């Protein structure tokens, strides 16, 4: 049983763990538990798995009707989790963070089900910190996580990512054809997450002519919230076809394969994927996340000279200039690529499956 979600940073690692378990045990039954109305309720069935939804959400920072209903949601989710566990009878439960993993794992532990938490970020989330004393193992993506968790429970596995990203060799020519790009010109990829990022989109649209004038080709994932707006604004620019705008990039393996430099938010999943892809990266951490964990994720890479960091507040003025500068600097690109690749953990999903098996053996 796998629980959690809310964002791609939780959902995709969860699916990767399930896929790794299925690859080893074809007949295994895997049930997901998520939060109603969140992206896991769509993405998990698309990946071929069954999911049950809990009526649960997070606490808002200000007084809202949602906050008043929060205690009732928790009670309802605990009761429903108990029923799901008793019916499914799991051999193990895995929590990947997000609203649903709290009540599900709490009831799993209470019902003597062996449990593992998977923490994606360099700064532990509240749900996982609360569960740490109850579960048997905590799989983490960064060193020194005993700051947050009991040291004897911590296992450094890395973050699980989709398998196709680990196999990028010899895909550049195919990728260039797929996206209609010139394989002899530099490619900048811009990733704001599945929902998009206002700062990155504004930085792009305000400086798009600099990129076109520099003969830089662009794969730009602007997110579903901004797609129509960015389409309209891009249509007013003299675009020679070198700027490819997407709501969401589905063929991520091809996108990574053809990209020479990547601009990205610093969510845990993005950091892990870019490490495995070995791409020179400029991180622009989102300031709109709990405990500023994206900045901490990015700083962990910068400290190892494995990435460049541009602050969100400075991005509109300097981000594209930095990107063009990096695209021209072959030595810096090679250095960043080598260092970020050295931090990759490509076997994370299988190592987490190993830890699950130890608990149920």
156 annotated ligand-binding residue: no
Identify whether residues 71 and 168 lie together within a single domain: no
269 annotated ligand-binding residue: yes
92 annotated ligand-binding residue: no
64 three-class SS: coil
CA angle 258, 40, 229 (to 5 degrees): 55
pLDDT: is 347 or 57 the higher one? Answer: 347
The string of pLDDT tens digits covering residues 175-199 is 999 999 999 999 999 998 766 799 9
Identify whether residues 215 and 335 lie together within a single domain: yes
Considering its fold, how many domains does the chain have in total?
A: 2
Q: How far is CA 218 from CA 180, 225, 229, 244, 316, in A?
A: 11, 20, 18, 6, 17
Given this model, what pLDDT does residue 208 score?
Answer: 95
pLDDT, average across residues 200-224 = 95
Confidence band, pLDDT 50/70/90 cuts, at residue 62: low
| Buried b / exposed e along 164-186 (16+ C-beta atoms within 10 A) | ebeebeebbeebbeebebeeeeb
121 annotated ligand-binding residue: yes
Contact present, 220 and 255 (Cβ < 8 Å): no
272 annotated ligand-binding residue: yes
| Residue 206 domain boundaries | 164-342
pTM given for the model: 0.84
* Structure token digits, residue 143: 């060193």
pLDDT, average across residues 316-337 = 98
Q: Which residues contact 80 (CB under 8 A, 6 or more apart)?
A: 52, 54, 55, 103
Identify whether residues 253 and 303 lie together within a single domain: yes
Identify whether residues 100 and 211 lie together within a single domain: no
Identify whether residues 353 and 330 lie together within a single domain: no
Identify whether residues 53 and 120 lie together within a single domain: yes
Identify whether residues 250 and 292 lie together within a single domain: yes
Distance CA 177, CA 224 (A): 25
Q: How far is CA 121 from CA 125, 247, 267, 347, in A?
A: 8, 25, 8, 17
167 annotated ligand-binding residue: no
Q: Which CATH number does the domain housing residue 149 bear?
A: 3.40.50.2000
With the C-alpha atoms ordered 161, 167, 173, 178, is the resulting torsion angle positive or negative? negative
Q: With 70 as the cut, is the pLDDT of residue 242 above it? A: yes
104 annotated ligand-binding residue: no
Identify whether residues 232 and 108 lie together within a single domain: no
268 annotated ligand-binding residue: yes
């Amino acid at each position: 049983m796998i629980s959690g979600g809310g964002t791609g940073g939780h959902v995709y690692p969860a699916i990767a763990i399930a896929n790794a378990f299925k690859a080893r045990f074809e007949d295994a039954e895997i049930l997901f538990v998520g939060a109603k109305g969140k992206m896991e309720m769509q993405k998990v069935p698309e990946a071929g798995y069954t999911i049950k939804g809990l009526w649960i959400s997070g606490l808002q920072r200000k007084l809202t009707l949602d906050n008043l209903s929060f205690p009732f949601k928790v009670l309802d989710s605990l009761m429903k989790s108990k029923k799901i566990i008793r019916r499914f009878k799991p051999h193990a439960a895995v929590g990947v963070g997000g609203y649903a993993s709290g009540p599900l794992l709490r009831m799993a532990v209470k019902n003597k089900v062996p449990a593992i938490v998977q923490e994606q970020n360099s700064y532990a989330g509240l749900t996982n910190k609360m569960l740490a004393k109850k579960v048997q193992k905590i799989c983490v993506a960064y060193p020194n996580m005993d700051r947050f968790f009991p040291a004897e429970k911590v296992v450094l596995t890395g973050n699980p990512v989709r398998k196709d990203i680990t196999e990028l060799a010899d895909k550049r020519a195919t990728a260039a054809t797929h996206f209609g790009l010139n394989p002899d010109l530099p490619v900048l990829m811009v990733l704001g997450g599945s929902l998009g990022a206002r700062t990155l989109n504004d930085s792009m649209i305000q400086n798009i002519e600099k990129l076109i004038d520099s003969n830089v080709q662009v794969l730009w994932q602007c997110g579903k919230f901004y797609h129509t707006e960015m389409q309209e604004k891009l249509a007013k620019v003299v675009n020679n076809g070198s700027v490819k705008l997407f709501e969401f990039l589905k063929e991520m393996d091809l996108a990574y394969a053809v990209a020479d430099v990547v601009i990205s938010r610093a969510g845990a999943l993005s950091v892990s994927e870019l490490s495995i892809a070995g791409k020179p990266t400029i991180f622009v951490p989102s300031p709109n996340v709990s405990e500023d964990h994206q900045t901490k994720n990015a700083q962990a890479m910068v400290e190892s000279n494995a990435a460049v960091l541009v602050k969100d507040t400075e991005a509109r003025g300097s981000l594209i200039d930095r990107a063009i500068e990096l695209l021209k600097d072959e030595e810096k690109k090679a250095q960043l690529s080598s260092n970020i690749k050295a931090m990759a953990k490509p076997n994370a999903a299988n190592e987490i499956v190993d830890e699950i098996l130890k608990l149920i053996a």
